[in-house]
């Protein structure tokens, strides 16, 4: 039976000798602590020839040896150790094995939308725990949207003060103080994750307009939005200037390119968030600005990208912004389908042609907020219907946007939008097991390149993760297609 490792490592050799039998931990149900003890007691060697985040791990009856070139590599070796711990009647055991591992892509992200439903620091920390254990290394926080502005800024305290009272569906809102944000950044860093903050503009800015009506246009309400409002109960009224919005419509709000004070405002906001963020990226959104005239759209995303660049950060934008004039090196985040439609791949390629890289978030594969099937109690279905675990797994990053070399793919990201997602239980249900598909797409060798990088092998490995998740209190979904036992 193959080892239950996720994401599958670059190279695994089972040695076949007797297993390691560590002394049972005080709490026999806590593999994570046992892995920590084993890693602390391991023979450790710094090896600068091992690339960033990579490691070599050897386990045999005599003990554990780890070599890595950086701290992240040692951390990831420990995550692998936790997955190797098994047990029989005699107690815990680890199979004798040699693993040589390194990520396929440098950027492996998960996104949490804290704007539609606010999620407090403890929930964000829980997401960091879950993601980092799967060797994901970026937490993208979608901090602002029509339904909320979730970060207090010293330069503009009115944004959060007036824009954070509610969440989608009329639920309670919330916001992070600068100290809360620092706590998240620090917690992530301890687990080798960067935080990528996003201020979504020029669309998705209704909540911003609650305190800055002079910067936003009147909401553009379409027949499609009226239909969406009729479809789901609890969405409150249609968007109205100056009133908080708690529904699920998108594309109705916009900044005004000609608004006096827009540029200094963006300099304040993006500059302050950049200064609060140690990671190299700042995301300025750019998606679904359906109510923004194209000329104004291009002017505003160009301005935002330029300001981000001047803060010293690398700008990231959703793929729509690729058509605008952006600084060289701006990163594009593709959220079209696995098989591109409507020229979304052209937009993504535009980032590459000006020397930027792309992050792949194909919506009909790794949008974690899609329902698994019609019975799933939370989530949406707009990305080509529900997304089974199998569909989340059967795609490869190199095959989505044609004519882009693998070197131009920065990595992958699995977004969790939260229109319907209220708490950690909802997050767990939608994230597990599908986040494992994203983790393998970002870390493991190409789909189909080894027997283990196949759906048939994955569905077995996922099933064997269940005890580890149960111990960690993760409320995973016993989704169809997985070989649960």
Q: Among all residues, which ones are annotated catalytic? A: 288
Nearer to ligand ACM, 9 or 415 (CB): 415
The mark string for 77-116 relative to ligand ACM (x by CB under 6 A, - otherwise) is ----------------------------------------
CB proximity list for 369: less than 8 A, separation 6 or greater? 113, 379, 380, 415, 416, 417, 418, 419, 420, 421, 430
**Minimum distance from residue 318 beta carbon to ligand ACM (Å):** 5
**Minimum distance from residue 248 beta carbon to ligand ACM (Å):** 12
**E-strand spans in 32-149?**
43-46, 55-60, 63-68, 86-88, 91-93, 97-101, 107-113, 138-142, 144-145, 148-149
Nearer to ligand ACM, 76 or 351 (CB): 351
Nearer to ligand ACM, 277 or 347 (CB): 347
**Minimum distance from residue 335 beta carbon to ligand ACM (Å):** 4
Tell me the H-state helices in 23-66.
Answer: 31-41
**Minimum distance from residue 110 beta carbon to ligand ACM (Å):** 14
Nearer to ligand ACM, 82 or 115 (CB): 115
Nearest-10 crossing angle of helices 424-431, 434-443: 60
Cα distances (Å, whole numbers) of residue 218 to 239, 241, 252, 254, 320: 9, 6, 8, 8, 22
The beta-carbon contacts of 157-166 under 8 Å, at least 24 apart in sequence, are 158/211, 158/212, 159/208, 159/211, 159/212, 159/269, 161/211, 162/210, 162/211, 163/207, 163/208, 163/210, 163/211, 164/118, 164/207, 165/244, 166/244, 166/246
Residue whose Cβ sits closest to ligand ACM: 287
- 335 touches ligand ACM by CB under 6 A: yes
Are the C-beta atoms of residues 394 and 332 closer than 8 Å to each other? Answer: no
**Minimum distance from residue 247 beta carbon to ligand ACM (Å):** 15
**Spatial CA neighbour of 20 closest among 104, 124, 93, 113:** 93
**Minimum distance from residue 412 beta carbon to ligand ACM (Å):** 14
The mark string for 262-301 relative to ligand ACM (x by CB under 6 A, - otherwise) is -------------------------xx-------------
CB proximity list for 110: less than 8 A, separation 6 or greater? 127, 131, 136, 138, 139, 140, 368, 413, 414, 415, 416, 431, 435, 438
* Bridge partners (DSSP) listed for residue 277: none
Residues binding ligand ACM: number (CB under 6 A): 4
Nearer to ligand ACM, 20 or 208 (CB): 208
**Minimum distance from residue 474 beta carbon to ligand ACM (Å):** 25
**Minimum distance from residue 117 beta carbon to ligand ACM (Å):** 15
Q: Binding ligand ACM by CB under 6 A: which of 107, 318, 393, 395? A: 318
Nearer to ligand ACM, 118 or 318 (CB): 318
Would you call 135 exposed, middle or buried from its count of C-beta atoms within 10 A (0-12, 13-18, 19+)?
Answer: buried
Cα distances (Å, whole numbers) of residue 188 to 51, 225, 296: 21, 37, 36
**Minimum distance from residue 333 beta carbon to ligand ACM (Å):** 7
CB proximity list for 200: less than 8 A, separation 6 or greater? 115, 142, 144, 145, 284, 285, 286, 287
DSSP label at residue 32:
H
Nearer to ligand ACM, 382 or 406 (CB): 382
Nearer to ligand ACM, 10 or 380 (CB): 380
Name residues contacting ligand ACM, limited to 146-205 (CB under 6 A): none
The per-residue b/e assignment along 369-406, b for 16 or more CB within 10 angstroms, e otherwise, is: bbbbeeebebbbeebbebbbbebbbbbbbbebbeebee
**Minimum distance from residue 417 beta carbon to ligand ACM (Å):** 7
Distance CA(92)–CA(34), nearest Å, equals 9
Nearer to ligand ACM, 245 or 335 (CB): 335
Phi-psi region of 462 (alpha: psi -120 to 50; beta: other; left: phi over 0): alpha
Nearer to ligand ACM, 50 or 282 (CB): 282
- Residues at the site binding ligand ACM, with contacts judged by CB under 6 A: 287-288, 318, 335
């Amino acid at each position: 039976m193959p080892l239950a490792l996720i994401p599958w490592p670059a190279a695994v050799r089972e040695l076949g000798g007797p297993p390691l039998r560590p002394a049972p931990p005080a709490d026999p149900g806590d593999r994570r602590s046992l892995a920590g003890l084993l890693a602390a007691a391991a023979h450790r060697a710094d090896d600068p020839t091992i690339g960033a985040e990579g490691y070599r791990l050897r386990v045999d009856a005599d003990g554990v040896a780890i070599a890595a070139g950086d701290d992240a590599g040692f951390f990831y070796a420990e995550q692998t150790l936790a997955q190797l711990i098994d047990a029989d009647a005699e107690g815990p055991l680890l199979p004798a094995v040699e693993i040589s591992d390194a990520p396929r892509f440098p950027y492996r992200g998960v996104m949490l939308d804290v704007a539609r439903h606010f999620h407090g620091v403890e929930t964000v920390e829980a997401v960091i725990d879950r993601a980092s254990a799967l060797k994901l290394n970026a937490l993208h926080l979608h901090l602002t949207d029509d339904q909320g502005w979730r970060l207090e800024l010293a330069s503009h305290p009115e944004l959060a003060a007036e824009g954070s009272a509610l969440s989608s569906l009329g639920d309670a809102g919330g916001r992070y103080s600068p100290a809360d944000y620092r706590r998240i950044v620090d917690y992530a860093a301890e687990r080798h994750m960067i935080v990528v903050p996003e201020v979504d503009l020029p669309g998705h800015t209704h909540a911003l307009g609650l305190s800055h009506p002079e910067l936003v246009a009147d909401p553009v309400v379409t027949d499609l939005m009226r239909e969406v409002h009729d479809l789901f109960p609890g969405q409150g009224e249609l968007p109205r200037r100056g009133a908080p919005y708690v529904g699920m419509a998108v594309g109705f709000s916009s900044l005004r390119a000609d608004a006096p004070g827009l540029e200094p405002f963006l300099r304040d906001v993006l500059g302050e968030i950049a200064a609060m963020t140690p990671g190299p990226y700042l995301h300025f959104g750019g998606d679904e600005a359906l109510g923004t005239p194209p000329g104004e759209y291009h002017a505003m995303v160009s301005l935002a990208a330029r300001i981000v660049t001047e803060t010293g950060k690398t700008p990231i934008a959703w793929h729509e912004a690729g058509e605008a004039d952006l600084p060289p090196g701006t990163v594009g985040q593709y959220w079209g389908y696995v098989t591109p439609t409507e020229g979304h791949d052209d937009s993504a390629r535009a980032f590459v042609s000006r020397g930027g890289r792309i992050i792949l978030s194909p919506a009909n594969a790794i949008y974690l907020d899609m329902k698994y099937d019609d019975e799933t109690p939370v989530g949406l279905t707009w990305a080509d219907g529900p997304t089974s675990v199998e569909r989340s797994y059967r795609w490869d990053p190199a095959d989505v946007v044609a004519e882009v070399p693998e070197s131009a793919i920065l990595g992958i990201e699995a977004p969790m939008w939260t229109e319907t997602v209220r708490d950690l239980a909802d997050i767990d249900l939608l994230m597990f097991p599908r986040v494992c598909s994203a983790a393998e797409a970002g870390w493991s060798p190409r789909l189909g390149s080894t027997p283990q990088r196949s759906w048939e092998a994955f569905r077995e490995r996922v099933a064997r993760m269940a005890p580890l998740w149960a111990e960690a209190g993760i409320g995973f979904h016993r989704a169809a297609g997985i070989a649960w036992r």
